[in-house]
């Protein structure tokens, strides 16, 4: 294949030009990578369901996304505090009522708190928002998702899991809580892909080192601009990964995962804990 033709084919596989007729739910889309991804999807003509922690933020984000995208896509806002299992259930119920089926679910919401905070359900906040919320939301929507589930992990994910410290019982560390949550998301994604026949596919990714509020809070401004962060968009739209499932992507390429993610017994143990903590289970 000639170099110019190869470049054309590679570009065509990277992103589609239209998402007309597609409905996508993005959690944590009021700023950062979530909002940037929502804007790009709306520009492609998708119906974008924008989630935010409160209605005021969600409405403001939806208006900005609609305006920035030139009004091409339909944008609708939903509010829910992802640290509350009750509110996550309510979010799923409202989404299903308005949209009996959705094409893509992007579990993008995440936090990096500096102090240990227990949620109304008694869980450490990082664990609740970064792990329990996407597990519960996905369990409640999985049979309505037609094409893809995208879960956000991180290159900061740990390589081991201490089942006696999921709630930071041994002393709180913001970095430990975050890396634990992102490892758990990688394990959840791998087990989800093993349990749920595609479609929908289930893949996770490192969204890149991007100057979001979270990155600056935890590590300082050491990344790229949010406007250049398109890895989440790639995994949600690229034809090249339409039939790929159970993988972890870094810079749009499937990469190896920590050995613990490959351990089916350990994934099963985590899965059982997540079911117990959320009170939810997936269809067999």
Which residues are part of the catalytic machinery?
A: 178
The CA-atom distances, in angstroms, between 103 and each of 28, 145, 160, 230, 236 are: 18, 5, 33, 19, 10
Closest CA to 30 of 84, 104, 90, 81: 81
Question: Residue 256 and residue 269: Cα distance in Å, rounded?
Answer: 21
The answer to whether the beta carbons of residues 136 and 117 sit under 8 Å apart is: no
Question: Residue 205 and residue 154: Cα distance in Å, rounded?
Answer: 7
Give the 3-state secondary structure of residue 205. Answer: strand
Q: Measure CA of the first residue to CA of the last residue in the chain; give whole Å.
A: 45
Token digits of residue 24: 């996508």
Question: Residue 167 and residue 274: Cα distance in Å, rounded?
Answer: 12
The CA-atom distances, in angstroms, between 64 and each of 32, 35, 279 are: 13, 9, 36
């Amino acid at each position: 294949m000639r170099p110019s033709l190869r470049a054309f084919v590679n570009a065509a596989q990277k992103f589609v030009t239209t998402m007309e007729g597609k409905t996508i739910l993005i959690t944590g889309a009021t700023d950062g990578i979530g909002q940037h991804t929502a804007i790009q999807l709306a520009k492609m003509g998708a119906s974008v369901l924008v989630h935010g922690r409160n209605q005021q933020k969600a409405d403001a984000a939806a208006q900005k996304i609609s305006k920035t995208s030139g009004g091409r896509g339909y944008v609708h806002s939903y509010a829910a505090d992802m640290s509350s299992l009750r509110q996550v259930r309510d979010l799923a119920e409202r989404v299903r009522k308005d949209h009996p089926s959705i094409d893509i679910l992007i579990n993008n919401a995440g936090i990096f708190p500096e102090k240990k905070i227990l949620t109304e359900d008694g869980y450490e906040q990082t664990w609740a928002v970064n792990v329990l919320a996407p597990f519960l939301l996905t369990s409640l929507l999985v049979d309505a998702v037609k094409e893809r589930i995208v879960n956000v992990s991180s290159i900061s994910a740990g390589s081991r899991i201490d089942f006696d410290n999921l709630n930071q019982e041994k002393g709180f560390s913001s970095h430990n809580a975050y890396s634990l949550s992102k490892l758990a998301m990688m394990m959840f994604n791998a087990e989800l892909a093993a349990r749920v026949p595609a479609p929908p596919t289930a893949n996770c990714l490192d969204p890149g080192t991007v100057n979001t509020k979270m990155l600056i809070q935890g590590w300082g401004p050491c990344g790229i601009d949010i406007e250049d962060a398109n890895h989440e968009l790639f995994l949600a739209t690229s034809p090249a990964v339409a039939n790929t499932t159970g993988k972890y992507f870094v810079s749009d390429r499937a990469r190896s995962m920590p050995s613990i993610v490959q351990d089916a017994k350990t994934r099963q143990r985590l899965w059982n804990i997540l079911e117990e903590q959320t009170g939810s289970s997936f269809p067999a």
